[in-house]
Structure 1
Amino acid sequence: MRTLCASTLIGEFFVVGFAGLVAMKDPDLTQVQVWTVCGVVMLLSVLLCGVLSRPGAVQVGWALQIGLILSGFVVPMMFFLGALFTLLWWCSLHYGQRVDAIKARWAAEAAQAPQGPQAGTATDA
């Protein structure tokens, strides 16, 4: 799950950076406002990659997705991109947990398998 979620968050890092460039064209916003908000969100997305296994990290990720969608009020294309990344976040969580469960099952099966030479094989004498 961590790999898929981290990949989604790194993608969001770049999208937020590019959205910041677009938001700079808005005459109502200063560069300081734009890059303060974008910088915090970009930093949060990178830091969240490292703490995905900790309690509450997934909920912070959901809050980040909501923030991306709401950023569409500043950069309208972010409504679409925010929704797309929210779908990717859900898929990363859903399918990532499935992959983790399959890996755990395979590890349990491998731990139960005999470690020595298999019965019925020829050995050098």
Structure 2
Amino acid sequence: MRTLCSSTLIGEVFIIGFAGLVAMKDDDLSMSTVWTVSGVAMFLCLVLCGLVTRPGGVALGWALQIALIASGFIVPTMFFLGAIFAALWWASVHYGRKIDEAKARFAAGQADQPDAA
């Protein structure tokens, strides 16, 4: 699960950075506000890459997905991109857990078999 979720989060780092560039064109927002919010969000994505397998890591990931969708109120394209990444996050968590279970079953099966040496 860690690999799939981390890949999704790394993709989000780039999307948040590009959304920050687009948000800079809004005259109502100061550049420092845009980059503070974008920088914190990108940093959280990177930190979450290491915390995704810990308790609450997936929930924090969902909170980040909601925030990404909500950023569509500033950059409207983010409604679409946020929904896409929320779907990717769901797939990463869902299929990542299935892969982890399959790996555990395979490892248990290997441990039960005697060496054929």
- TM bin (shorter chain): over 0.9
Partners of 1:2 and 1:20 in 2: CA distance: 27
Q: Across the two proteins, how many residue pairs are aligned to each other?
A: 117
Kindly, what percent of the aligned residue pairs are identical? 63
Distance 1:36 1:49 in 2: 20
- What's the CA shift string for 1:7-36, capped at 9, x where partnerless? 000000000000000000000000000000
The AA in structure 2 aligned to 1:2 is R
Report the Cα distance in structure 2 between the residues aligned to 1:60 and 1:83, rounded to whole angstroms: 16
CA distance in 2, matches of 1:116, 1:21: 59
Dislocated runs of 4+, deviation >2 Å: none
The equivalences for 1:1-125 within 5 A come to: 1-117=1-117
**Residue 53 (structure 1) shift:** 1.5
Gaps of 5+ in 2: none
Task: State the TM-score, normalizing by the size of structure 1.
Answer: 0.92
TM-score of the superposition, structure 2-length normalised? Answer: 0.98
Gaps of 5+ in 1: 118-125
Distance 1:89 1:116 in 2: 41
